[in-house]
Amino acid sequence: MKIIGNGAEAVIALEGNTVIKTRIQKHYRLKEIDEGIRRDRTRTEARLISEARRCGVPTPVIRDVTDFEIKMEYIDGTALKEIINIALSEQTGELIGRLHSCGIVHGDLTTSNILLKNGKLFLIDFGLSYLDKSVEARGVDIHVLFQTFKSTHENHVELIRAFKKGYARTFSDAAYIIAREKQIESRGRYA
Amino acid sequence: MPYNCGHENLMSGISILGLEGTAWNLSAAIVDEDDVVVENTATYKPPTGGIHPREAAQHHANHIAGVIRKTLEKRRGRINAVAFSMGPGLGPCLRTVATAARALALSLDAPLIGVNHCIAHIEVGIWKTPAHDPVALYVSGANSQVLSYRAGHYRVFGETLDIGIGNALDKFARSAGLSHPGGPKVEELAKHATQYIKLPYTVKGMDFSFSGLATAAHEASRKYPLPDVCHSFQETAFAMLVEVTERAVAHTGKSEVLLAGGVGANSRLREMLGVMCNDRGIGFYVPEKRFMGDNGAMIAYLGLLMYKSGYRTEIPDSKVNPDYRPDDAVVTWR
Residue B84: inside a domain? yes
Which ipTM was obtained for this model? 0.89
Q: Which structural domains are found in chain A, ordered by start?
A: 2-73 (3.30.200.20), 78-187 (1.10.510.10)
**B9 pLDDT exceeds 60?**
no
Residue B334: inside a domain? no
pLDDT in tens, B216-231: 999 999 999 999 999 9
Q: Look at residue A189 in the predicted model and tell me its pLDDT.
A: 54
- Element at A10 (helix H, strand E): strand A10-15
- Distance from C-alpha of B43 to C-alpha of B143, rounded to nearest angstrom: 19
Whether residues B273 and A7 touch (CB distance < 8 A) is answered with: no
pLDDT along chain A (191 residues), means of 10: 88 96 97 96 97 98 98 96 95 98 94 95 94 94 90 90 98 97 75 42
Min distance A114 CA to chain B CA atoms (Å)? 18
pLDDT in tens, B240-288: 999 999 999 998 899 999 999 999 999 999 999 999 999 999 999 999 9
| Dihedral sign, Cα of residue B179, residue B184, residue B188, residue B189 | positive
For chains A and B, CB pairs below 8 A equal: 59
- b/e burial code for range A2-31 (CB count within 10 A of at least 16 → b): eeeeebbbbebbeeeeebbbbbeebebbbe
As a whole-number percent, the residues of chain B with pLDDT over 90 amount to: 87
User: Does A173 qualify as catalytic in the annotation?
Assistant: no
Verify that B65 and B190 share a domain, yes or no: no
Whether residues A32 and B196 touch (CB distance < 8 A) is answered with: yes
Cα nearest neighbour of A144 on chain B: B205
Q: Look at residue B5 in the predicted model and tell me its pLDDT.
A: 39
Verify that B46 and B64 share a domain, yes or no: yes
Nearest to B204 among A28, A36, A130 (CB): A130
Whether residues A29 and B204 touch (CB distance < 8 A) is answered with: no
pLDDT in tens, B306-326: 999 999 999 999 999 999 999
Cα nearest neighbour of B244 on chain A: A8
Verify that B223 and B268 share a domain, yes or no: yes
Verify that B274 and B141 share a domain, yes or no: yes
- Chain B neighbors of A191, CB-CB under 8 A: 150-151, 153, 155
**B72 pLDDT exceeds 60?**
yes
Verify that B83 and B209 share a domain, yes or no: no
Whether residues B205 and A27 touch (CB distance < 8 A) is answered with: no
Verify that B31 and B177 share a domain, yes or no: no
- Chain A neighbors of B156, CB-CB under 8 A: 189
**B3 pLDDT exceeds 80?**
no
- Chain B neighbors of A187, CB-CB under 8 A: 327
Decide: B297 and B41 in contact? Cβ < 8 Å: no
Domain of B215, CATH number, reads 3.30.420.40
Whether residues A130 and B153 touch (CB distance < 8 A) is answered with: no
**B10 pLDDT exceeds 50?**
no
- Chain A neighbors of B242, CB-CB under 8 A: 28-29
Decide: B87 and B117 in contact? Cβ < 8 Å: yes
CA angle B311, B320, B37 (to 5 degrees): 55
Verify that B117 and B138 share a domain, yes or no: no
Mean pLDDT of chain B: 93
- Chain B neighbors of A130, CB-CB under 8 A: 204-205
Whether residues B205 and A107 touch (CB distance < 8 A) is answered with: yes
For residues B85-106, give the mean pLDDT: 97
Interface subset of A 8-47, CB within 8 angstroms of B: 8-9, 26-30, 32-34, 36-37
Q: What is the DSSP string of A54-88?
A: HTT---PPEEEEETTEEEEE----EEHHHH--HHH
Verify that B87 and B233 share a domain, yes or no: no
Min distance B203 CA to chain A CA atoms (Å)? 10
Verify that B218 and B300 share a domain, yes or no: no
Decide: A19 and A25 in contact? Cβ < 8 Å: no
Residue B184: inside a domain? yes
Q: Which domain holds residue B316?
A: 2-122+292-328
Residue B333: inside a domain? no
Q: Look at residue A6 in the predicted model and tell me its pLDDT.
A: 83
As a whole-number percent, the residues of chain A with pLDDT over 90 amount to: 83
Residue B323 at interface with chain A, using a CB cutoff of 8 Å: no
Verify that B256 and B159 share a domain, yes or no: yes
Verify that B162 and B14 share a domain, yes or no: no
Whether residues B250 and A36 touch (CB distance < 8 A) is answered with: no
A21-30, A90-99, B42-51, B60-69: the lowest-pLDDT one: B42-51
As a whole-number percent, the residues of chain B with pLDDT over 70 amount to: 96
- Active-site entry in A34, A108, A132, A173: A108
Whether residues B239 and A33 touch (CB distance < 8 A) is answered with: yes
Q: Look at residue B12 in the predicted model and tell me its pLDDT.
A: 58
Decide: B232 and B217 in contact? Cβ < 8 Å: yes
Q: Look at residue B277 in the predicted model and tell me its pLDDT.
A: 98
Q: Look at residue B51 in the predicted model and tell me its pLDDT.
A: 87
Q: Look at residue B1 in the predicted model and tell me its pLDDT.
A: 36
Number of domains in chain B: 2
Verify that B74 and B152 share a domain, yes or no: no
Cα nearest neighbour of A9 on chain B: B247
- Chain B neighbors of A188, CB-CB under 8 A: 153, 327-328
